[in-house]
Amino acid sequence: MEQRALGTQGLAVSAIGLGCMGMSDFYGADRSADLESTATIQRALDLGVTLLDTGDFYGMGHNEMLIGRAIQGRRDQAILSVKFGALRDPSGVFIGFDGRPAYVKTSLAYSLRRLGVDHIDLYYPARVDPNVPIEETIGAVGDLIKQGKVRYAGLSEASAATVRRAHAAHPISALQIEYSLWSRDPEDEVLPTLRELGVGLVAYGALSRGLFGGAIGSTPGDGRAHFPRFQGDNLTANLALFEKLKQLGAQRRDSIAARDGVGARARPGHCAHHWHAPAQSFGRKYGLRSCSTLCSRACGDRTGDSARRRGRREISCAQHVDRESVNRLDHRSLDSIN
């Protein structure tokens, strides 16, 4: 498995990571499938995946305990990436974020116990607490690094300005943020800032929360139902875009599909995966600019997070477009973009 450097502090991870959230929460997770989830984590390690991403609030601790069992005897093969700070009530409802230094250190103590490890590799606040200066939150993570309990500091869903402030307080190795063909807003300010500062990017939702894999259903407990992008007319329009993406992929008889061993046609997931690839000239040659232009027309905000609706929003959201403009799209107009 290809390795990628995250930041300039020495952290290296597999190019593809395993996000474990859905094994415990949000996407209609079935807790009775813990054996399957454990086997998935262990198979990922077998294949050379090292980055395992979780949060202490995923399944309210369940996800960390699941990972802890899965990596027993294999700790040296895993890079544990843990988010903290999200607050939930006994029913599981989110009630805010806490970035106070004392909470940072308390959260770390519980995560170490649930994971059954003596340190966490990459530790970062799940969101920026608007009531606590980011310098204080990251400063607490820095203290834990000095104690050997954490190896590297990160951020999640933070603005370019916040990344700068945090990085000035303590070196930031990575920013985790949703970034895909469907979610392009980090390109405006965040990505240039990361490049300037030497901060790595952990892009989650590369398959647009399952949409590019055709995994959108009505499973009870599926948290995507609360996101504007997966609601009502927005979802109808986005599924229409997805069908156009499938048609575009089917037209591309190229080395993408041949290399991945899936026959002669590229699937939406392949388009999404290769769009992330560093070789942008490869993408232009095989029509991924067409995919990119198509997906820039996604309808609805990518998240229902109210923090993004503040005047000083952390991350801007995707634009809204009307369904008629989506229906007017055809491959001739897309091909003319190349």
Q: Are 30 and 37 in contact (CB under 8 A)?
A: no
Kindly give the interhelix angle for 62-70 and 34-46, rounded to the nearest 10 degrees. 50
Q: Which two tokens stand for residue 123?
A: 């530790």
- R_g over Cα of the chain: 20
Return the closest-CA partner of residue 80 out of 39, 36, 45: 45
Q: How far apart, in Å, do the first and last CA atoms of the chain sit?
A: 31
Classify the phi-psi angles of 48: left when phi > 0, otherwise alpha if psi is within -120 to 50, otherwise beta.
left
Q: Are 307 and 130 in contact (CB under 8 A)?
A: yes
Catalytic-role residue among 58, 103, 152, 204 = 58
Spatial separation of the C-alpha atoms in residues 54 and 83, rounded to whole Å? 6
- Is 58 a known active-site residue? yes
Residue type, 184: R
Spatial separation of the C-alpha atoms in residues 59 and 202, rounded to whole Å? 21
- For the chain, give the number of residues: 338
Q: Are 228 and 234 in contact (CB under 8 A)?
A: yes
Q: Are 92 and 86 in contact (CB under 8 A)?
A: no
Active site residues: 58
